[in-house]
Structure 1
Amino acid sequence: MKKKIWISIGVVILILGLVGFNVFRTLAKEELTVETVKVDEREITGNVMVPGTLSFSQENYVYLDPEKGEVKEVLVKEGDQIEVGTPLVRYENEQLQLEKEQNALSIESAYLRINQIDDQLDALDEKEDDLSKQVSKDEAEKTVEAERDQLKIDLKVADIEARQVQLQKETIENKVKELVIKSDLAGTVLSVDEEAIAGISQTPILHVGKKGNYVVKASISEYDSLKIKEKQPVILKSDVLPNKEWKGTVTKVGLLPQQTENVTVNEDAAVQYPIEVSIDSKDVEIKPGFKLIMEIETEKRTALALPLEAVKQDGEDYYVFVVENGKAMRKKVETGTTNNEFMEIKSGLTKEEEVIVRPPDNLKQDMEVSVK
């Protein structure tokens, strides 16, 4: 009985082996049908994808300044339309008020001293006139000369002190004027933060912006800062409105990197450069604060290129399959700029070679193929 079972198993194995061999031989002889293209001159555009935030092109933040004193009054409210120079916030500074009163007393004292010396000089002139009646005029003049010289010196000193306290007055008056913060731009009061006014938070007291004029602000790496220039065209998209896109233009690329807070000396922080992009369209449904993806066109030129589907990657190397004498041949290529459709081919191919598009995963070197 066992002998018959082993014979049956052997027969089954033999049949399966023959079937597998025949299938393998059939597949080995089967030709793959492929589609080919030739490397050709195409317009290549280089793009950089950058995330950004929609912001007002003109805006102003007013922060709490403890050195000015305490906020006495906020002179505007959220939603107010304001002009350049509109008073926004008034501070109260008791110390500055005391300085102002002290200065007023100093000025009064200085001019009292000047008037006193003038009176003394007048009295000295009368004294000289009286002496000249008793002695000669020259003798009388010599008698009061030393006292007159001293009074003249005292008068000059008093004049200097008066000018000094007058300058102090101007300085104090300027500080008093600075207690009223005025707007640097015409626009709308977007927010008034009571917690910031009370010193509870570090956010701005006031935010003023000019509605309707928007820019997209972003940060780019050192590498991208060498490619992105002013006046380059931009396509902007938002996840909130996936079917919408807007055209824009790079208007500003920072010359210096952004300052990063809380970075220690030994910390290896990534350097970022600020950029701004204007939106060409005035009909923009999105609002300030929205996150956008910017596709910045950094270059446009003509170059030899292939569809992306024709180029495969193996580690850091790129290669394609070409058809030679009915067989697939793998060829290494040097690539360049890539966009959404094409990849630049710098070397490795000639214009006459037939390159397989979308090569199947099982395509191997020397495999027979037929072209559609």
Structure 2
Amino acid sequence: MFKSKKAKIALFSGLGVASVALVGGALLFSNALGGSGSAGEDFTLPMTYRVVQEGSIASSTLLTGTVAAGEEQFVYYDPSKGDISEFYVEQGSQVEVGTALLRYDAYELQTALDSAVRGRDKIGRQIYDVQNGGQTLPTTGDPALDGEAAASAQRSIDLQLADLNDAYADAQAAVDKAWTAVNEATVASTVSGTVVEVNKSVSKSSTNSQTVIHIVNQNSLQVTGQLTEYDLANIKVDQEVKLSTKVYPEQTWTGKISYISNYPANDQTAVAVPGGGGSGGGAKYPFKVTLTSDIGDLKQGFTVNMEVVNTSKNILVPVTAVVYEDDKTFVWTLVDGKAKKVEVTLGNADALNQEVTKGLSVGDHVIVLPDFDLQEGQEVEADEEPAN
């Protein structure tokens, strides 16, 4: 089918309008970018520079741990001491070091102590009698015979006293042991804190250790966890951490790593896992974090996430400023308004900043995003960009 002449004219007219619109739009876009609209002219974005400063990059080390008490006491039932006759504290009680917590029935222990004291005192009286009772010896009138008899009697007394003194020492040891047993019938607190558990229904027939009283020092809360062998190389004692928990997502806490074990937990041994990476298999090393901020709403048993704070200071440049050529790295600097290419040695980096360990000094002007065709000594007009 053939179109009419009128239809053809309308079609060509429409194409002409569209062509004019496209050309006009291109000219307007070119003028808006500051160009003259001449054909073949290249457009480049204006460059900026940043004054080099020292700073710290964000840490990439994230850890998890559990809130635990640094100071706590578990009192376990001791069936060898008999029945518990009295509890001196209740759940929620505040105690100090040395506060009496409970007492076992000490009747038999006290009886044993009394018996030991009597046995010791009896021996003491025998010693006194031998030392002070005196002894009469018959005389024969012969000085030699009488002297020999006296010497023999004295040796007998000395041996008797020696045996009695040994017996007295043994009796005193028995008294001390019985006295200790009586004192240990009363169990005292070894930490200051809050009584969080009192179990008065212990079973004498149970062979398992049964907690009778549990005391926690809430002011000693800390965070415990385990480092992988990969984290171990990057974490040091006294490094600061930021803590958060899903229970209170709007709150944060601060802490400091106070302990890192040199030995794997539970006698673990490292197991090489090909391609395992930092989250793969391997040994786990216990660590502890001491809280340096108010405990607030944190509770024992909470799971927390921790970001290790990087406090090391290094020269920082924008990651976009680094140019890679072969096996070397460079940045472009501005010196008296001209471009200068500087070889640098890099450290760690985060999403925004790159550490430079060699090649730059504080105060240097580094081009944030250099052109690919930038030349050594080329005059450059650039505005200062504030640091992040």
When normalised by structure 2's length, the TM-score is 0.59
Query: Is residue 293 of structure 2 the alignment partner of residue 280 of structure 1?
Result: yes
Distance 1:83 1:173, change over 3 A: same
Matched residue SS, 1:244: coil
- Answer whether contact 2:321 2:367 (CA < 8 A) is retained: no
**Which residue identity is paired with 1:179?**
A
Question: Aligned partner of 1:218: which letter?
Answer: G
Given candidates 96, 117, 132, the residue that maps to 1:83 is 96
Partner in structure 2 of residue 216 of structure 1:
223
Report the alpha carbon displacement of residue 258 of structure 1 after superposing the two structures with TM: 6.5
Question: Residues 98-137 of structure 1: matches in 2 within 5 Å?
Answer: 100=113, 103-104=116-117, 106-111=119-124, 113-114=126-127, 117-118=130-131, 122=134, 124-125=135-136, 128=137, 131-132=138-139, 135=141
Task: Indicate conservation of the 8 Å contact 1:189/1:206, yes or no.
Answer: yes
Out of 62, 65, 88, the residue aligned to residue 74 of structure 2 is 62
- How far apart are 1:239 and its partner, in Å? 1.0
Match for residue 378 of structure 2? none
Q: Distance in 2 between matches of 1:172 and 1:118?
A: 29
Q: How much does 1:85 deviate?
A: 0.7
1:135 Cα deviation after fit: 2.6
**Partner amino acid for 2:88?**
L
Residue 235, structure 1, aligned to residue 248, structure 2 = no
Query: Aligned runs of 1:111-260 on 2, under 5 Å?
Result: 111=124, 113-114=126-127, 117-118=130-131, 122=134, 124-125=135-136, 128=137, 131-132=138-139, 135=141, 139-194=145-200, 199=206, 202=209, 204-212=211-219, 214-246=221-253, 248-250=254-256, 252-254=258-260, 256-257=261-262, 260=265
1:354 and 2:349 matched = no
Could you list the per-position Cα deviations for residues 205-254 of structure 1 after superposition, in whole angstroms to 9, with x for gaps in the alignment? 322123455433333344544543444332221112222223x2316124
SS at match of 1:161: helix
Partner in structure 2 of residue 45 of structure 1: 57
Distance 2:243 2:251 in 1: 9
CA-based RMSD of the aligned residues comes to: 4.8
Partner letter of residue 206 of structure 1? Answer: I
CA distances 1:320-341 after superposition (whole Å, capped 9, x unpaired): xxxxxxxxxxxxx996424464
CA distance in 2, matches of 1:96, 1:166: 16
Q: Which residue of 2 aligns with 1:326?
A: none
Match of 2:348 among 337, 347, 369: 337
Distance in 1 (CA, whole Å) between partners of 2:228 and 2:270 is 20
Residue 234 of structure 1 contacts residue 250 of structure 1 at CA under 8 Å; is this kept in 2? yes
Counterpart of 1:300 in 2: which secondary structure?
coil
CA offset at residue 183 of structure 1? 1.0
Q: Specify every segment of 5 or more residues in structure 1 that has no aligned partner in the other structure, as ranges.
A: 1-30, 312-316, 320-332, 357-372
Does the residue aligned with 2:102 lie in a helix, a strand or coil? strand
Q: In structure 2, do the counterparts of structure 1 residues 159 and 250 end up closer, same or farther at CA, with 3 Å as the change threshold?
A: same
Which residue is equivalent to 1:295?
307
Deviations, residues 6-44 of structure 1 (Å, cap 9, x unaligned): xxxxxxxxxxxxxxxxxxxxxxxxx9x999987984633
Q: 1:34 to 1:242 in 2, by over 3 A?
A: farther
1:190 Cα offset (Å): 1.4
Instruction: Quote the Cα distance in structure 2 between the aligned partners of 1:298 and 1:197.
Output: 52
CA distance 1:271–1:158, change in 2 (3 Å): same
Q: Give the 3-state SS of the residue equivalent to 1:45 in structure 2.
A: coil
Percent sequence identity over aligned pairs: 18
Distance 1:97 1:266 in 2: 55
User: By how many angstroms is 1:272 displaced?
Assistant: 1.0
Q: Which amino acid aligns with 2:97?
A: V
- Compute the TM-score of the two structures, normalised by the length of structure 1: 0.61
Cα distance in 2 between the residues matched to 1:204 and 1:310:
63
In structure 2, relative to structure 1, the CA distance for the partners of 1:65 and 1:355 (3 Å cut) is farther
Residue 140 of structure 1 and its aligned partner are, at CA, apart by 3.4
* TM-aligned CA deviation for residue 193 of structure 1: 3.6
Distance 1:56 1:265, change over 3 A: closer
Distance 2:119 2:269 in 1: 50
Tell me by how many angstroms 1:285 deviates: 2.6
Q: Please state how far the C-alpha of 1:156 moved relative to its aligned partner.
A: 1.6
